[in-house]
Amino acid sequence: MMSDTQEKDPQRAPGLRNNPWVRQRNVNIRWFLSLCVCACILLIVARQMRWDVGPLPALLSVLPWAGVMCAGIALLAWRLRMSSVAVVALIVTLAVAYLWAPAFTVNEQATPIVGAPTLRLMSFNCMGNPATIGALARAAQADSVDVLAVVEAVPFIHRDLANSALSTLFKYRYLTADDQVGIWSRRPLSDVSSLPMGFVGKAARVRIGGSTLTLLAVHPRSPRYTQAAQWRHDQSQLMGIVREQPAGPLVVAGDFNMTRDNDAFRDYLNNGFVDAADINGKGWKGTWSYGPDNWALVAIDHFLGRGVHMSHFDTVVIDGSDHRAIVSDIQVGG
């Protein structure tokens, strides 16, 4: 008769334990789980060593999900009595949690300044799809947006943009005929210009109370496939332009094609910027979606601010795009 232990855990029954097929299966499972954990370790090392070659910049976008995977591996390995794999997977999970802790922590710079004027800013990648324009206008009106930055506003949809409700909502706009980034505003825009970069971008200044905010709306190229070198060039060029901006309140907004695990993102933090999502404890909210259910799994759209308070952060679903719009309240002073 089998013991209670053997009935509860068939793998420990003498017949199965000595079965060559079972032993080989367990070896294969151990190797597979170990390789998955090693892949996550590689991503952590790449992040900390600031490696951005080949596919690594794109792969780093899934680091938090790799951490979730390692948590599952730790549980499975423990159940299968693969204690060494379970311990390493748990350590990797805790390492990812430590790296991502700031994304869940509300910062004092997210605290609204009582009585200070507020500018509500929205940024959106419309994917060059005219079908997004109506939904975008409705979302901007519902959220009482003061300034709207739109990227991938390709020339063939400019007429749709001009004839949309955006023209009624926003009295001022800056969108050149051959460009793909536009800025719409309820308030007057000054010093508008196209950024001198190899990719698209716009600059404008807008008043918030007695202060002037500089806004850069940007869209560097993606690091996917063979574009890592172009991506590095765009990010370096953009950081150079950011550093040339005069002292004072500054927000860089748009689809950056980078996550908080990319070295380029941490360059902003090292230069005195904060991310609106992070400081509001919502750095985990995805802005770019894919998959059958259109899940937003990766945060590549950002508001990066210097010399400002960015209270409130949220994402908005706009039909027709694989990006979420992002919204934040900008204040100066305090």
Give pLDDT tens digits for 50-95.
998 888 999 999 999 999 999 999 999 999 999 999 999 999 999 9
Give the domain extent around 89: 4-102
Q: CA-to-CA distance for 290 and 333, rounded, in angstroms?
A: 39
Both 97 and 122 in one domain: the answer is: no
Both 36 and 154 in one domain: the answer is: no
Given 57, 77, 102, which residue is the final one in a domain?
102
Which CATH number do you get for residue 204?
A: 3.60.10.10
Both 70 and 165 in one domain: the answer is: no
Both 270 and 169 in one domain: the answer is: yes
Both 159 and 286 in one domain: the answer is: yes
Both 22 and 129 in one domain: the answer is: no
Both 166 and 290 in one domain: the answer is: yes
Given 49, 77, 102, which residue is the final one in a domain?
102
Both 176 and 261 in one domain: the answer is: yes
- Tally the domains of the chain: 2
Both 97 and 136 in one domain: the answer is: no
Q: CA-to-CA distance for 146 and 206, rounded, in angstroms?
A: 10
The alpha-helical segments, DSSP class H, found in the chain are 4-8, 14-17, 20-48, 56-59, 63-79, 83-100, 132-142, 158-162, 166-169, 228-244, 263-270, 276-279
Inform me whether the pLDDT recorded for 148 exceeds 50.
yes
DSSP one-letter code for 290: E
Polymer length in residues for the chain: 334
pLDDT, tens digit, for every residue of 106-143? 988 899 999 999 999 999 999 999 999 999 999 999 99
Both 259 and 318 in one domain: the answer is: yes
The mean pLDDT value of the chain amounts to 91
- Positive/negative CA dihedral, 6, 11, 12, 17: positive
Given 102, 135, 170, which residue is the final one in a domain?
102
Both 121 and 98 in one domain: the answer is: no
The dihedrals phi and psi of 315, each to the nearest 5 degrees, come to: -115, 150
pLDDT top residue among 2 and 163: 163
